[in-house]
Every structure is written in structure tokens, then in C-alpha cells.
Amino acid sequence: MSVKAEVVIKNHSGLHARPAALFIQTANKFKADIVVSSGVKQVNAKSIISVLSLGARGGTQVTIEAEGPDAEQAVKDLVFLLATIDEGE
Amino acid sequence: MVGVVIVSHSLKIAEGAKELASQMTPDRIPLAVAGGTKDGRLGTDAEQVRSAIESVYSDDGIVILYDLGSALMSTELAIEELPAIQQARVAVVHAPLVEGVVTAVVEISLNKNWESIIVTLQEMDFGKAP
Amino acid sequence: MSLNSSQVKKVMLEIGETVEKNKEFLTELDLAIGDADHGINLTKGFRAVATKLSATETDDIGEIFTLVGMTLVGNVGGASGPLYGTAFMRAGSYAAGKTSLIADDFVGILEAAIGGIKMRGKAEAGDKTMLDALIPALNAFQEALKQGITVHGALTKAVEAALAGVNYTKEIQARKGRASYLGARSIGHQDPGATSTYLMLRTISKAVQTQGQPEK
């Protein structure tokens, strides 16, 4: 089962440092294969260096796509995270 | 919890990599550095590497990341000086230093075990080992 | 006659003096193809060796070499620390329990040192390293002994072979260490590590020629 959703990153610095770590920590809770893409670049959502290499700043729209038994919940949680994440985290 | 040791020719690089990686997680990851010589020159020192390993060692395992060639030699020497039982739980990985340390710290915060962290880090190897 | 432990200690100190005298020269060679610290690093290492040796009473030559090796490991900083450190520690294992050295021991020591450097540096002959001075020196020494040349003569041959090895490193491309990053541009420069190895062997030879004649 494949699930896909788009979300605009809320926090100012984007998928950087701790927010990126938080993102992959969440992604790693799921069995599904998850990719995140920004523009033409698509990376493994479970690898910190890959996610950092996306360079997705705040206000950027990213696409999250998951495939696997828990894909739906994975996409839901990650979208929620990016839509609500605060700078302090 | 798996521990990390950073070995660099420069203490500033080692501490900077530690600082950057620590920013990734609020968890307190066992992370030790060995950088520069005793008298503050650029270089590596097997004795410092050994005490860095000992300062964060646990049976959960240690991964060591290094910067350039001779840092690896000092690290290998330091490992040879450890008791055999500890040697078996200490791994040198050939990932790029900064990316490797950041990845290691995040993987540890995910409670990944030593074996799987080694696999993840080795995938980042770009052929730096001689 | 043979080389006893206090003579061995003295040779170690003389190696330090030679290194110190050639500090600038070695560093300059390293400036061309490395990180310009070989002379400085080795000088720091052998100064620490001098301090450690003056504080030890042991007449076990194995312990002396091991102490030299461990001190280099902890005080040099650059690649020559683990490399020479391992070489001397291996020589220390070879010479464990010995209180005097004869010519055959020189062979054993060089073999141990070569093994250590190969293991630590993952290097072979022709990689433009210390080995390109050390291996020819050992071969020449053994060959000379086989031909019935005196130990002094054999040592002279070994030093000549080491120097030829240093010159050979000018013609080849570095395959190990910082110099290997330069690729073909390392050709034309002699290797600092091979050069310091040659200087050490020259010092050993000179010391033996003046201090005593090792037995065959």
C-alpha cells in the first residue's frame, strides 16, 4: 500500500539539526519504506544525512511517500510533525 | 547505550563535531573525543584515543570515527591495547567524520544496536581507509 | 664483542640527536608532499624518548625498544608515531629478555620492524614509504653477511642500500599517506619517512662502528 501527502514545513529553519533528527526518529518508528522529496530531490526519510541533504527550509513544500503495512499512519504522523514543529524542538 | 569516539588531528575539529552532533538530540549520548597531540599540535595520539574509548566504553559497544589516515593508525594501536573482551565491542568505521558522527548520534538516539549502527555507518564509506 | 644495553640506549639517544639535527631538512621534504611536520614531530617524539630513557634502569633491550616505541606512539602526532612506534615495539618483542645484541639480532630487529610497519601502514615495498629504505637495508645486510663481509662492512652496505632506497622514492608515486593525495605530482620528491629511516640506520651504523663490533 502506497500513501502520499504534501505538507509545508512550518518552522523557520526547516529540516535542519534537531527537527531533522526528530523527523527521522518518527520515520524510524514505522516498518514502511518512506521517502521525502523537495523539488526534484527525493531521499530516504529514515537516514539523517539524506534528510539533511534535502536542505528543506521553513515554508518549503515537501512530499512524503510511504509504502508498507503502516504507510498511512507513517505519512499522517510525519505530516503532522512538519506542520506543527516548533523552532525550539 | 552505544558510545561514540571521535578521533581527529585537531581538537577543534573533534570538539566541533561533537558539538554539532549533540545538537541533533536532547539525549545524552556517550561521546568522547581525542584530538591533537598532548602539547597542542595537530596530530593524533594513541594514548588519548585509548582513554577516550575507556571513558565511554560499555558492553553495548563503541563506534569510532576518525578524520585522516594516521588517525586510523593511532586508533588501531589504541584498540590493540584494550583487553580482548573490550576489543570485540569496539569498531572503527570509515564514514566521513562529520556526517558519520551526526548519523551515529541520531542512530543511538533511536536505540539502534551496535551491529546495525555499524552497518549504517559503513554504507557511508567513500573509500577513506587505506 | 657485542652491543650491550647501555650502548643500545646510547644509540637511541643518538638517533634523537640525528633527528633533531635534521629537523628542518625532514620538515622541508614533508612540505613538498605532506603536511610539513615530519621533522618537528619526530624531534618531539625523540625528546620524549630521551626523557623516558634517562628515567629507566632496565638492561633488557626488549624493554628499551618497547619503551621507545610506546613513547613515540604517544608523543609524535603524525603518521610516523604509530609507524615507528609499532616498529620499535615489534623490535622490543623480538629482543625481549636480551641484554646484548649480535649481528643476527640486527636482522631479527629489522625484520620485526618491517613487519610492524607493513601491518600498521598497510604498505608494501614501492609505496614510497619508510619501507623503501628499510627493506633494501635488510636485504643488503643479509647478503653481505652471507658473502662473509665483516659486520661493520655489512652495516655500511645496509646504509648505502637505504640511501639508494631513498633516492628510488624520488622516482615513484606515493601510494600511502598524505602524499598519495598528490598522485603523480609526488614523483620527483624523496619520501620524508624513507629519509628519516635512512638517517636512523646511518646513526646506528656509525654508533656500532665506534662503540664495538657485534659478533657474527
Residue by residue, DSSP assigns C103-114 as HHHHHHHHHHHH
Q: What is the mean pLDDT of chain C?
A: 94
Q: Which residues on B lie below 8 Å from A47 (Cβ)?
A: 103, 120
Residue by residue, DSSP assigns B42-111 as SS--HHHHHHHHHHH--TT-EEEEESSHHHHHHHHHHHHTS-HHHHTTEEE--S-HHHHHHHHHHHHHTT
Q: Which residues on B lie below 8 Å from A49 (Cβ)?
A: 99, 102-103, 124
- Asked whether residue C216 is domain-assigned, the answer is no
Mean pLDDT of A44-55: 93
Chain-chain contact of B76 with C120 (C-beta, under 8 angstroms): yes
Cβ(B36)–Cβ(B68) below 8 Å = no
Q: Chain B residue closest to A47 (CA)? A: B103
The number of angstroms, rounded, from the C-alpha of C137 to the middle of its chain's C-alpha atoms is: 10
For the cut 60, the answer to whether the pLDDT of residue C58 exceeds it is yes
Distance CA A76, CA A54 (A): 20
The number of angstroms, rounded, from the C-alpha of B91 to the middle of its chain's C-alpha atoms is: 8
Looking at A15, A16, A27, A56, which residue is catalytic? A16
For the cut 80, the answer to whether the pLDDT of residue C77 exceeds it is yes
Cβ(C177)–Cβ(C130) below 8 Å = no
Distance CA C46, CA C52 (A): 10
Q: How would residue C8 be classed by pLDDT, with cut points 50, 70 and 90?
A: very high
Name all chains with 3 or more CB-CB pairs below 8 Å to chain A.
B
Q: How would residue C10 be classed by pLDDT, with cut points 50, 70 and 90?
A: very high
| Residue C5: predicted pLDDT | 95
What domain range is C122 assigned to?
A: 3-211
Q: How would residue C210 be classed by pLDDT, with cut points 50, 70 and 90?
A: confident
| Nearest one of C62, C141, C69, C143 to C103, comparing CA atoms | C141
Task: For C140-158, write each residue's pLDDT tens digit.
Answer: 999 999 999 999 999 999 9
| Residue C215: predicted pLDDT | 52
Cβ(A79)–Cβ(A8) below 8 Å = no
* Predicted ipTM of the assembly: 0.85
Q: Chain B residue closest to C35 (CA)? A: B42
Please, what is the end-to-end C-alpha distance for chain C in angstroms? 9
Task: For C115-130, write each residue's pLDDT tens digit.
Answer: 999 999 999 999 999 9
Which of B37, B39, B69 is closest, CB to CB, to C177?
B69
Chain-chain contact of B24 with A17 (C-beta, under 8 angstroms): yes
Q: pLDDT tens track of chain B, all 130 residues?
A: 999 999 999 999 999 999 999 999 888 999 999 999 999 999 999 999 999 999 999 999 999 999 988 999 999 999 999 999 999 999 999 999 999 999 999 999 999 999 999 999 999 998 888 7
Distance CA C201, CA C208 (A): 11
Task: For A72-84, write each residue's pLDDT tens digit.
Answer: 999 999 999 999 9
CATH architecture of the domain B3-122 equals 3-Layer(aba) Sandwich (3.40)
Chain-chain contact of A48 with B23 (C-beta, under 8 angstroms): no
Task: For A10-22, write each residue's pLDDT tens digit.
Answer: 988 889 888 999 9
Q: Which domains can be identified in chain A, with CATH numbers?
A: 2-84 (3.30.1340.10)
Question: Counting every residue, how long is chain C?
Answer: 216
The number of angstroms, rounded, from the C-alpha of B61 to the middle of its chain's C-alpha atoms is: 11
Task: For C151-203, write each residue's pLDDT tens digit.
Answer: 999 999 999 999 999 999 999 999 998 889 898 999 999 999 999 999 999 99
| Residue B89: predicted pLDDT | 98
For the cut 70, the answer to whether the pLDDT of residue C216 exceeds it is no
**B117 CB near a chain A CB, below 8 Å?**
no
Distance CA C189, CA C181 (A): 14
Distance CA C72, CA C113 (A): 14
| Residue C212: predicted pLDDT | 57
Residues of B involved in catalysis: 9
| Residue C153: predicted pLDDT | 95
- C126: which DSSP letter? T
Q: How would residue C1 be classed by pLDDT, with cut points 50, 70 and 90?
A: very low
- Asked whether residue C78 is domain-assigned, the answer is yes
| Residue C214: predicted pLDDT | 55
For the cut 50, the answer to whether the pLDDT of residue A89 exceeds it is no
CATH number at residue C196: 1.25.40.340
The CA–CA distances, whole Å, from B105 to A9, A75, B3, B13, C43 equal 24, 24, 9, 16, 38
- Asked whether residue C35 is domain-assigned, the answer is yes
